[in-house]
Amino acid sequence: MKKYFYVICILLFAGKPAHAAAGDTTWVQANIDTLAWYGNYDATASFPASGSYRNIYMIFTLGKYVCPGSPTYCGDWDYTVQNYLMTPGGDTLELGRLITPYANAGAPRTPWAWKQRYVFEVTDYAAMLKNMATVRIHYSGYSGGFTANVRFAFVHGTPDRNVTGFRRLWRGSYGYGGGTDMSTKFTAVPAVAPDGTKTATLKFNITGHGSDNLGCCEFLEKNYHVFLNGSSVASKSIWRDDCGENQLYPQSGTWVYNRANWCPGNIVNSNFHTLPGITSGSNFNVGMVFDAYTSPGGGLGSYTTETHLIYHGDFNKLKDASIEDIIAPTNHENHFRENPICTNPLINIKNRGANPISLIELEYGVQGTALQTYTWTGMLNPLESADVALPELANLKTLAGDTTKYTFVARIKNVNGSKDADTTNNIMKSTFATTPKWDGKFRIQFRTNSSALDGFSESSWKIYDQNNVVVKQRTNLNVSTLYTDTVTLPTGCYKLEVNDLGCDGLNWWASVTGGSMLVKKFGDNSNLPLNGYTNSGTYAHDFGCKFTQYFYTNTPTGVSDIASSNLSIETFPNPAKDVIFIDVAGQNQVNGTIHIIDAIGRIVKTIPCETSHIEMNTNGMSTGIYTVLFVNEDGNKLQSRVMVSK
Q: What is the C-alpha to C-alpha distance for residues 310 and 26, in angstroms, rounded to an integer?
A: 25
- Which residue, among 276, 287, 247, 275, has the nearest Cα to 263 in the 3D structure? 247
Question: What confidence score (pLDDT) does residue 587 get?
Answer: 63
Longest dimension (CA), the chain: 100
Q: How many CB atoms within 10 Å of residue 130?
A: 15
Plot region of 519 (φ>0 → left; ψ -120 to 50 → alpha; else → beta)? beta
Q: Is pLDDT of 205 > 60?
A: yes
What are the residues whose beta carbons fall under 8 Å from the beta carbon of 357, sequence distance 6 or more? 319, 321, 351, 379, 380, 415, 416
Average pLDDT over residues 126-132: 94
Element (H, E) at 85: strand 80-86
Burial of 35 (0-12, 13-18, 19+ CB in 10 A): buried
User: CATH says 161-315 is which class?
Assistant: mainly beta
CATH architecture of the domain covering 25-160: Sandwich (2.60)
Q: Is the pLDDT of residue 16 over 80?
A: no
Band of the pLDDT at 421, cuts 50, 70, 90? Answer: very high
CB 110 within 8 A of CB 103: yes
How far apart (Å, rounded) are the C-alpha atoms in residues 477 and 52? 59
Same fold, 323-432 and 437-553: yes
587-604 pLDDT, tens digit each: 666 788 899 998 888 889
Burial class (CB in 10 A: 0-12, 13-18, 19+), 27: middle
Contact (CB, 8 A) for 62 and 120: no
Query: How confident is the model at residue 555, as a pLDDT?
Result: 61
Average pLDDT over residues 142-157: 94
What was the pLDDT predicted at 154?
97
Say which residues have a Cβ less than 8 Å from residue 559's Cβ, sequence separation at least 6.
Answer: 566, 567, 585, 586, 587, 588
* 499 three-class SS: strand
264 vs 146: CA distance, rounded Å: 14
Judge contact between 552 and 120, C-beta under 8 A.
Answer: no
Q: What is the DSSP secondary structure assignment for residue 539, as one 8-state letter?
A: T
Can you tell me the distance from the alpha carbon of 426 to that of 362, in angstroms, rounded to the nearest whole number? Answer: 9
Q: Sheet containing 637-644: give its strands across.
A: 603-609, 592-597, 624-632, 637-644
Give the amino acid at 171: R
- Could you please report the per-residue DSSP string of 566-629? T-EEEEESSSBSSEEEEEEES-SS--EEEEEE-TTS-EEEEEEE-SSEEEEE-TTPPSEEEEEE
Number of helices followed by number of strands (H, E) in the chain: 2, 40
Give the helix/strand (H/E) hosting 395: helix 394-398
Domain boundaries, the chain: 25-160, 161-315, 323-432, 437-553, 568-644
Fold of 323-432: Immunoglobulin-like (2.60.40)
How many whole angstroms separate alpha carbon 432 and alpha carbon 426?
Answer: 20
CA gyration radius, the chain: 29
For residue 217, name the pLDDT band (cuts at 50, 70, 90). Answer: very high
Average pLDDT of the residues of the chain: 91
Fold of the domain spanning 437-553: Immunoglobulin-like (2.60.40)
User: Which pLDDT does position 612 carry in this prediction?
Assistant: 78
DSSP H helical segments within 423-475, as ranges? Answer: none
How confident is residue 583, by pLDDT bands cut at 50, 70 and 90? confident
Q: Which of 257, 273, 362, 358 is nearest to 309 (CA)?
A: 273
Q: Which long-range contacts (CB under 8 A, 24 or more apart) does 123-126 make?
A: 123/53, 123/54, 123/55, 123/56, 123/159, 123/160, 124/163, 124/166, 124/310, 125/56, 125/85, 125/93, 125/95, 125/166, 126/53, 126/56, 126/159, 126/163
Q: Which of 290, 275, 283 lies closest to 231, judged by CA? A: 275
Higher pLDDT, 579 or 205: 205
Supply the pLDDT for residue 586.
Answer: 64
- Asked whether the predicted pLDDT for residue 367 surpasses 80, the reply is yes
- At 12 the pLDDT is 46
pLDDT digits (tens, 9 = 90+) for 382-416: 999 999 999 999 999 999 999 899 999 999 999 99
For residue 492, the SS3 value is strand
Lowest-pLDDT range, 191-205, 470-484, 552-566?
552-566
C-beta separation of 285 from 279 below 8 A: no
Q: Please, which pLDDT band fits residue 86 given cuts at 50, 70 and 90?
A: very high
Question: What letter does residue 527 receive in the DSSP assignment?
Answer: B
Q: Output b/e per residue, 552-577; b: 16+ Cβ within 10 A.
A: bbeeebebeebeeeebbbbbbebebe
pTM to 2 decimal places: 0.85
Residue 396 is inside which H or E element, if any?
helix 394-398
**Prior bond to 573 cis, omega within 30?**
yes
Structure confidence at residue 19 (pLDDT): 61
Residue 103 banded pLDDT, cuts 50, 70, 90: very high
Tens of pLDDT, residue by residue over 227-269, are 999 999 999 999 999 999 999 999 999 999 999 999 999 999 9
User: Of 405, 516, 401, nearest to 457 (Cα)?
Assistant: 516
Amino acid 634 reads: D
Q: Helix (H, G, I), strand (E, B), or coil: what is residue 327?
A: strand
DSSP per position, 215-266: -TBTTS-EEEEEEETTEEEEEEEE-BS-GGG-SS-S-SSSTTS-BSS--TTS
Question: Right CATH number for 568-644 from 2.40.110.10, 3.40.50.720, 2.60.40.2550, 3.90.1150.10?
Answer: 2.60.40.2550
Q: How confident is the model at residue 352 (pLDDT cuts 50, 70, 90)?
A: very high
DSSP annotation of 512: B
DSSP one-letter string for 1-25: --SSHHHHHHHTT----SS--TT-E
Distance, C-alpha 291 to centroid of its chain: 30
pLDDT bucket at 635, cuts 50 / 70 / 90 = confident
